[in-house]
Amino acid sequence: NAGVTQTPKFQVLKTGQSMTLQCAQDMNHNSMYWYRQDPGMGLRLIYYSASEGTTDKGEVPNGYNVSRLNKREFSLRLESAAPSQTSVYFCASSALRSLDYNEQFFGPGTRLTVL
Amino acid sequence: QKEVEQNSGPLSVPEGAIASLNCTYSDRVSQSFFWYRQYSGKSPELIMSIYSNGDKEDGRFTAQLNKASQYVSLLIRDSQPSDSATYLCAVNLQGAQKLVFGQGTRLTINP
């Protein structure tokens, strides 16, 4: 099992460009999450999908959109990239068998730079 | 007050000693708690989950939970240089389908 995979690993964009970060999991997990991690700010939740067909905003959703394509895949889109979106982006998944059972497993991350 | 607080460190511990990492949380009714280890340039890796008051041991790692005092800690016995990493505490707020992370404690084990 590959676990959680993310593409691409690295990306450089110019201000105003758009791109989609891809995430897939092969653990048959119900829930998927997108985080960003910045120095001194810790991990911050952007969007999450508790189950196929649902998505909800997290702590920092502005400037992002998501799509839960199917149970395996959850993508994050930047419509018009800004330098403030320079960060490392992590996707995670969880079986979420109950509301309190939320062991999350992370992908390797995408390092994004916006010039 | 932040929902989950950790001392950012750095915490420096000699090899072979016990490393003690602490985390406090603000939501009194939180039910589940997690410790992640993150090496520099890598993704967070789940190392411990704890759901009940008391201690939970897994190899050299022990998680301790005290819901009355709203803190959770991680002890690493016989610390090794390979334990040098940032340790993230995460709390599942009751009824929520998401985790809240602390900012992490950077741990350095000195040979």
Please tell me the predicted confidence (pLDDT) of residue A100: 66
Please name the residue that has the structure tokens 């995670």: A92
Contact B5, B24 (CB under 8 A): yes
Beta-strand relationship, A19-25 and A4-7: antiparallel
What is the pLDDT tens value at each position of chain B, 111 positions in all? Answer: 678 999 888 999 999 999 999 999 998 788 899 999 999 999 999 999 999 999 999 999 999 999 999 999 999 999 999 999 999 999 987 777 789 999 999 999 999
Which element (helix H / strand E) includes A6? Answer: strand A4-7
Q: What residues of chain A lie within 8 A of the CB of B46, using their CB?
A: 103-105
| CA gap A52, A42 in Å, rounded | 27
Tens of pLDDT, residues A15-49: 999 999 999 999 999 999 999 999 877 899 999 99
pLDDT of residue A79: 94
Distance (Å) from the alpha carbon of A43 to chain B's nearest alpha carbon? 6
| Percentages (nearest 5) of helix, strand, coil residues in chain A | 5, 55, 45
Size of interface A-B (CB pairs under 8 A): 54
Does the CB of B42 have a partner CB in chain A at under 8 Å? yes
- Asked if B90 and B101 count as a contact pair (C-beta separation under 8 A), the reply is yes
Q: Which of B6, B108, B90, B12 is nearest to A43 (CA)?
A: B90
